[in-house]
């Protein structure tokens, strides 16, 4: 009986030892399958840390180590890249140079050492002050009371203003790569040109003389709001200088008028002859736009109220 008990205890010991060995083997297999890697993480301030991780994606490794990127930061390699043991993750700002090098590496372009050095050229900053002219505007005072026989009197000459624009400019290889406006200060305010439109007063001698023959302009021309425009995008949304009638806009000739004037109609505007060759979305009713050679000239023209006659 004692021999049977001893045999039973021996069998139980063997079973227990076998179970322990199986557990140890499983833990070893799990450790091998986990495949922990050493990865170096270099922060933007230069601090280096080593992380033991089973992750392979850069984003997962940063999250595992409670590292959150700011808006102006990025990683090298890219946040979605996969890395292996012994590689590093560098956190840096989204600089111009690194973007260029990253593009070259990702596209697999073969570059020379000179090209790489050019991309790594230092970025310099300068504060640049520029002076910009502020064009004066022309203000018209109409005292003609609808009369077509008028003359203009300049009450005040216009003077351009001046403003200083301060920029922070970044250069690389002496080429401007970024320009940021810091301040804008008006040094000198523009002085508006003031023109008075008034009826021509005939002398008693002139009134007693017979009037000259009509030049073909219709009598009693209505007063129109007359503005000016040029071929820039600000004025007409295009820059080709082509009118709605298909002609090329010409200073001293072309005007834009509403549909009540057919293309080719000649108009006497303030004593000068123009031709209706263009249209405009804002040109309707008693509104006419005169074509001029530059945007500055259009601003100087301002808004005038002038008599307009159709020339027969």
Residue ranges matching CATH 2.40.40.10 in the chain:
214-310
Q: Report the range of poorest mean pLDDT among 81-90, 201-210, 285-294.
A: 201-210
2-6, 131-135, 157-161, 172-176: the lowest-pLDDT one: 2-6
Q: What is the mean pLDDT of residues 213-217?
A: 37
CATH of domain 214-310: 2.40.40.10
Q: Is the pLDDT of residue 197 over 90?
A: no
Band (110; pLDDT cuts 50, 70, 90): low
Fold of 37-119: Ubiquitin-like (UB roll) (3.10.20)
Lowest mean pLDDT among 23-27, 178-182, 204-208: 204-208
- Residue 37, pLDDT > 90, answer no
CA–CA distances in Å: residue 88 to residues 84, 99, 304 = 9, 18, 71
According to DSSP, the β-strands at 272-278 and 254-256 are parallel
Calculate mean pLDDT across residues 217-241. Answer: 77
The lowest-confidence range among 10-24, 27-41, 129-143, 146-160 is 27-41
- pLDDT for residue 102: 46
Please state the pTM of the whole predicted model.
0.35
Q: Delimit the CATH 3.10.20 region(s) of the chain.
A: 37-119
pLDDT of 214 above 70: no
Average pLDDT on 239-262 reads: 89
Mean pLDDT, the chain, rounded, equals 78
């Amino acid at each position: 009986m004692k021999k049977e008990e001893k045999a039973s205890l021996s069998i139980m010991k063997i079973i227990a030892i076998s179970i322990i060995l199986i557990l140890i083997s499983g833990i070893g297999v799990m450790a091998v399958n986990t495949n922990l890697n050493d990865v170096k993480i270099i922060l933007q301030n230069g601090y280096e840390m080593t992380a033991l991780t089973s992750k392979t994606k850069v984003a997962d490794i940063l999250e595992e180590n409670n590292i959150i990127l700011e808006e102006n930061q990025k990683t090298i390699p890219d946040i979605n890249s996969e890395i292996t043991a012994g590689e590093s993750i560098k956190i840096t700002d989204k600089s111009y140079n690194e973007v260029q090098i990253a593009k070259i590496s990702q596209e697999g372009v073969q570059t020379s050492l000179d090209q790489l050095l050019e991309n790594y050229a230092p970025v310099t900053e300068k504060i640049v002050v520029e002076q910009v002219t502020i064009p004066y505007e022309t203000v018209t005072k109409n005292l003609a009371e609808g009369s077509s026989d008028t003359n203009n009197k300049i009450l005040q000459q216009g003077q351009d203003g001046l403003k200083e624009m301060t920029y922070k400019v970044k250069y690389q290889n002496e080429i401007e790569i970024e320009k940021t406006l810091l301040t804008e200060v008006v040094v000198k305010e523009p002085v508006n040109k003031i023109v008075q439109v008034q009826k021509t007063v005939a002398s008693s001698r002139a009134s007693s003389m017979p009037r000259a023959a009509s030049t073909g302009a219709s009598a009693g021309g209505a007063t129109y709001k007359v503005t000016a425009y040029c071929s820039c995008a600000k004025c007409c949304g295009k820059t080709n200088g082509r009118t709605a009638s298909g002609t090329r806009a010409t200073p001293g000739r072309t005007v834009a008028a509403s549909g009540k004037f057919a293309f080719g109609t000649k108009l006497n505007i303030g004593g000068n002859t123009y031709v209706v060759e263009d249209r405009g979305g804002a040109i309707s009713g008693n509104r006419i736009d005169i074509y001029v050679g530059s945007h500055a000239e259009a601003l100087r023209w301002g808004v005038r109220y002038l008599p307009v006659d159709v020339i027969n």
